[in-house]
């Protein structure tokens, strides 16, 4: 019965424009997320501890099947809005890689050769050690030969 629940997991997430990290866009180079006006998108998480979901909607993904062709989307959180001191709260690697994975809190879920459009949800929190990280942004890192990669990313509540 557990398998059935996992297979039919609720993929819904409440979208709030104030939590937008990347407006839907096609990318071909590594970059920080942008809002609808193509301005760098940073979300202020507030002064307290939070748990949430990093939601990535991959609209199109055409990456050649060859080792090393990949896109990495990272949720970066920082103590300051300049991101001088930051950590990766969650990330996803998509494409043809040997050890592609979805990670959170040291747990790894295999995503080897994942090349599908769709919704990816990763839980995150903003406290590491005894430090709270107030600001969040998404960053993309592209390696190898890229075709078309279109996505949007936002934060949502943890359900």
Q: What is the pLDDT of residue 155?
A: 94
Closest CA to 95 of 57, 54, 149: 149
pLDDT tens-digit profile of 17-69? 889 998 888 877 777 666 555 557 899 999 999 999 999 998 887 766 566 67
- What is the rounded distance in angstroms from the CA atom of residue 90 to the CA atom of residue 115? 19
The full set of domain ranges for the chain reads 2-157
Sign of CA dihedral 103, 57, 29, 77: negative
Closest CA to 102 of 93, 153, 68: 93
Asked whether the predicted pLDDT for residue 95 surpasses 50, the reply is yes
The pTM for the full model equals 0.77
| Token couple for 123 | 């839980």
Q: How confident is the model at residue 70 (pLDDT cuts 50, 70, 90)?
A: confident
Residues ≥6 apart with Cβ < 8 Å to 89: 54, 75, 76, 77, 124, 125, 126, 133, 136
Q: What is the pLDDT of residue 69?
A: 74
Helix (H, G, I), strand (E, B), or coil: what is residue 57?
strand
Q: What is the pLDDT of residue 116?
A: 73
Which of these CATH numbers, 3.90.1150.10, 3.40.50.620, 2.60.120.1110, 3.40.50.2020, describes 2-157?
Answer: 2.60.120.1110
């Amino acid at each position: 019965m557990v398998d059935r629940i996992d297979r039919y997991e609720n993929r819904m997430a409440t979208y709030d424009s104030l939590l937008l990290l990347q407006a839907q866009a096609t990318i071909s180079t590594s970059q920080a997320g942008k809002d609808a006006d193509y301005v760098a998108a940073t979300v202020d998480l507030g002064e307290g501890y939070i748990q949430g979901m990093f939601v990535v909607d991959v609209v199109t993904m055409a990456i050649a099947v060859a080792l090393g062709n990949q896109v990495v989307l990272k949720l970066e959180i920082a103590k300051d809005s300049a991101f001088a001191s930051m950590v990766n709260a969650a990330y996803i690697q998509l494409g043809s890689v040997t050890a592609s994975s979805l990670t959170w809190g040291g747990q790894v879920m295999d995503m080897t050769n994942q090349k599908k459009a769709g919704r990816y949800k990763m839980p995150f929190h903003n406290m590491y050690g005894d430090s709270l990280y107030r600001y969040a942004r998404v960053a993309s890192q592209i390696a190898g030969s890229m075709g078309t990669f279109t996505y949007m990313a936002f934060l949502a509540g943890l359900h």
